Amino acid sequence: MSILVVGSVAFDTVSTPFGEVREALGGSATHFSVSASFWSPVRLVAVVGEDFTGAHRQPLLDRNVDIAGLTTAKGRTFRWSGVYGDDLNSARTLDTQLNVFADFKPEVPQAWRDTPLLFLANIDPELQWNVLEQVRGAKLVAADTMNYWIDSKPEALKKLLGRVDVLLINDGEIRQLTGERNLVRAVAAVRRLGPQAVVVKRGEHGVLVFQGTSAFALPAFPLESVMDPTGAGDAFAGGFLGYLASRGLDGERDFRRAAVVGSVMASYQVEDFSLDRLMRLTEPEIRDRYARFQELTRFSPLS
Amino acid sequence: MSILVVGSVAFDTVSTPFGEVREALGGSATHFSVSASFWSPVRLVAVVGEDFTGAHRQPLLDRNVDIAGLTTAKGRTFRWSGVYGDDLNSARTLDTQLNVFADFKPEVPQAWRDTPLLFLANIDPELQWNVLEQVRGAKLVAADTMNYWIDSKPEALKKLLGRVDVLLINDGEIRQLTGERNLVRAVAAVRRLGPQAVVVKRGEHGVLVFQGTSAFALPAFPLESVMDPTGAGDAFAGGFLGYLASRGLDGERDFRRAAVVGSVMASYQVEDFSLDRLMRLTEPEIRDRYARFQELTRFSPLS
């Protein structure tokens, strides 16, 4: 089953205690697409500038991502620059240049308007709504967001959430969105806005998944070396939704496995800069780390 | 199998967004003893002042804690006062009065010197060493510590760790102790100092247990209401070591179950102030929450 993603394709300049990259391929839709492509066919809707070359498209093509929805506009590609300190949990943004993204009017190719799984990656909630209106055939709608939109467009975001089935959001953001410090109550508040499933991303502390009456908690994989956390959340979303799509519409029963798959993809994502680790990732490596997650979390009944 | 604990018995004045208590029974050894008493016989070594009445002893006696090692000294009982804000993860200390603790010279009753499991709760590492020297018959030595001792007595603490089998420590403290930001590397550094097993307590994010070549990660139980986090770490240690002791010396093979039991006890501890929740806790409630931890964390193999 195909997934359609709309989000950013960007050039990232990132510095961490372990190195740096300049104008490396990044953006929420890019990281999502590469990760999801291990599991399901991916259709990408985004905009880039005239400085986006064939070489920049190549990693997406190598992963069989369908880029028929990647339009080129006059101007420069979106750029982001950030630095991580010793605490790799959050980046300090040095510079954001919207460039072609400032006037982005996403247009979903006609043939894609019945894509069954739609992922609205972290962009302006008004653009997310615009895409949602076009993909009328979507059976499952998932969305991400960030503090910037919670602050600046809370009403547009809340309107959008009324039509979102699965919200992926980090712990700080769900507290900000709901004004609830307690995560269980924050999730309940979000579900009253619309999403029936909520995935709370907690960075190095793992992930919490609430769906129906079920709660699932998974720690993050304890890594000895984290090079660059950029894209971890999008790689998680790619694995999570890519796996669900691969299971067909019954996929909703597989939310637990999907969260483990997402965590596997995110754990590899942070092992190198930009797309470098996922571009050389193999299926045996994925299966190996999934098995290690089982070993990491297993325990016996009380006797 | 019996456990001997040395630590503080205190009067706590605690304020959280959900209420407050004044001069309620607390202290690391108290919380540990009550929690461990659900699993194994507990022997308590500590000091209190002349203001510590029979009514104060009663909860310990009700839980069958052996208080033959609880001595009364001239003066007032140790007092601590703290306040928790909306972020319940850490308290701001308002006041600490060592009182009788300032001159505490722990004396372990002769009959207790071969207690097989020794827990050195969070007190001055020189006092911890002193007790370790007396309990010559201990087969398994576990210890806790805190930022204050890491700062003020790093050498005494490192000397102690050379003879500790299991260190229980929170994530901020193990980073401080080792200078390593990455938890996996911080744990490796601690193990080079002595402890073969390390339990990293991460508050609302759960616990990581490293023992031999095994790593075990357990999320915390997602609670809708946390009244007062005071004593959560000690209740965890009580459940963890109490369970190990109940399994005999083969207990080391049960570190995973012990960590779940510890997390069950800690999750109840925070539901009310002081000892209030654990004093009314029942065995069916413990078994119920253990089963909920299984439900919270289970997932199927990748198919």
Interval B45-54: pLDDT, tens: 999 999 999 9
Residues B219, A222: C-beta atoms closer than 8 Å: no
Q: What is the sign of the dihedral through the CA atoms of A133, A134, A138 and A144?
A: negative
Q: Which residue of A has its CA nearest to B188?
A: A224
- Give residue ranges of A with CB < 8 Å to any B CB: 86-88, 181-185, 202, 204-206, 208, 214-219, 222-226, 256-257, 259-261, 287, 290-291, 294-303
ipTM: 0.94
Note the pTM of the prediction, 2 decimals.
0.95
Q: Give me the pLDDT at residue B87, please.
A: 78
Q: Give me the pLDDT at residue B249, please.
A: 67
DSSP state of A209: E
Q: Are A31 and A100 in contact (CB under 8 A)?
A: no
Q: Are A63 and A34 in contact (CB under 8 A)?
A: yes
Q: Give me the pLDDT at residue A172, please.
A: 92
Mean pLDDT of A250-255: 73
* Mean pLDDT, chain A, integer: 95
Q: Report the phi/psi class of residue B98: left, alpha or beta, with left for phi > 0 and alpha for psi in -120 to 50.
A: alpha
Residues A302, B224: C-beta atoms closer than 8 Å: no
**pLDDT band for position A89 (cuts 50, 70, 90):** confident
- Give residue ranges of B with CB < 8 Å to any A CB: 86-88, 181-185, 202, 204-206, 208, 214-219, 222-226, 256-257, 259-261, 287, 290-291, 294-303
Q: Give me the pLDDT at residue A297, please.
A: 97
**pLDDT band for position A250 (cuts 50, 70, 90):** low
Q: What is the sign of the dihedral through the CA atoms of B209, B210, B216 and B219?
A: positive
**pLDDT band for position A303 (cuts 50, 70, 90):** confident
Q: Give me the pLDDT at residue A91, please.
A: 87
**pLDDT band for position A179 (cuts 50, 70, 90):** very high
Which residues are B24's β-sheet partners? B12
Q: Give me the pLDDT at residue A249, please.
A: 67
Q: Give me the pLDDT at residue A252, please.
A: 58
How far is residue A35 from each of residues A257, A279, B207, B255, measured CA to CA in Å? Answer: 15, 9, 29, 35
Strand residue runs (E) in chain B: 3-6, 10-16, 19-26, 42-48, 66-72, 78-84, 91-97, 117-120, 140-144, 166-170, 197-201, 207-211, 214-218
Mean pLDDT of A175-196: 96
Longest dimension (CA), chain A: 67
Task: Count A/B contacts: CB-CB distance under 8 Å.
Answer: 107
Q: Give me the pLDDT at residue A34, please.
A: 98
| Predicted confidence (pLDDT) at residue A51 exceeds the cutoff of 80 | yes
- Tens of pLDDT, residue by residue over A106-159, are 999 999 999 999 999 999 999 999 999 999 999 999 999 999 999 999 999 999
- Tens of pLDDT, residue by residue over B76-113, are 999 999 999 887 878 899 999 999 999 999 999 999 99
Mean pLDDT of A189-209: 96
Q: Give me the pLDDT at residue B91, please.
A: 87
* Residues in chain B with pLDDT values less than 50: none
Q: Which residue of A has its CA nearest to B255?
A: A299
And the tokens for B238?
């009580």
Q: Give me the pLDDT at residue B86, please.
A: 81
Residues B299, A184: C-beta atoms closer than 8 Å: no
